Amino acid sequence: MSGRKKTLLKVIILGDSGVGKTSLMQQFVNNKFSHQYKATIGADFLTKEITIDNNKQVSLQIWDTAGQERFQSLGVAFYRGADCCVLCYDVTNEKSLNNLTSWKDEFLVQSNVTNPQDFPFIIIGNKIDVDDSKKIPSLQKKLQNITNNQLGGLNYPVFETSAKEGINVEAAFEVIAKMALQQEELNDANGHDVSDDYNDAINIHLESEYSGCAC
């Protein structure tokens, strides 16, 4: 499909309320951080175009879901047809770290993706700008427990970011785009576009007596 100019990727961001999903998105798209916390009630949609591997143009369609528990069930529309999923936690909030697994499960249940084991996820730990004293005690160890767990673990790339300071945000999204693009190319290799199927013969029942009287 070399004629295609841009790849469009749907990225969804999940994680507990208050971990800074919207801030991450704002930082990435607009390079700005809003100090005032506002609960997202529903979802935001943002678009950003980036170029990866020097020449691949990718258009990211980012769906930022509501974090609050009570809005959890946003319906399959959010999850359906996602190309990549970002799981976020807050480095100062242990509960948000522990909830990553259930966010992942929620996604897999709702999105009904065909190959869950191959689906591209990444993990973002936000708010690394805060004092070390406020961070989760022995964070790295706990994080490893979650990601390295052999059975059903979240063995995905982890990024520690600060939406406030703009640290690592861009890098994280670039990896997101790369992973999603790889997945997309893998899909292409497996199932070609059904675009050229002109062999669906139509059965046309005609009486074969053309030579007869046509009146």
CB closer to another protein out of 132 and 197: 197
Nearest distance, CB of residue 138 and another protein, angstroms:
35
Nearest distance, CB of residue 174 and another protein, angstroms:
18
Nearest distance, CB of residue 37 and another protein, angstroms:
12
Tokens of 76: 């399959």
CB closer to another protein out of 92 and 183: 183
Residue 145: C-alpha distances to residues 97, 151, 155 (Å): 11, 11, 10
CB closer to another protein out of 151 and 204: 204
Burial of 48 (0-12, 13-18, 19+ CB in 10 A): middle
Q: For tokens 């997202």, name the residue.
A: 40
CB closer to another protein out of 45 and 131: 45
- Rounded to whole angstroms, the Cα distance separating 168 from 123 reads 12
Nearest distance, CB of residue 168 and another protein, angstroms:
20
Residues that bind another protein (CB under 8 A): 1-4, 6-8, 10, 29-30, 34, 36, 38, 40-49, 59, 61, 63, 70-78, 80-83, 112, 114, 184, 187, 191, 193-202, 204-207, 210-211, 213-215
Instruction: Provide the 8-state DSSP code for 136.
Output: P
Q: Say whether 6 sits in a helix, a strand or coil.
A: strand
Burial of 17 (0-12, 13-18, 19+ CB in 10 A): middle
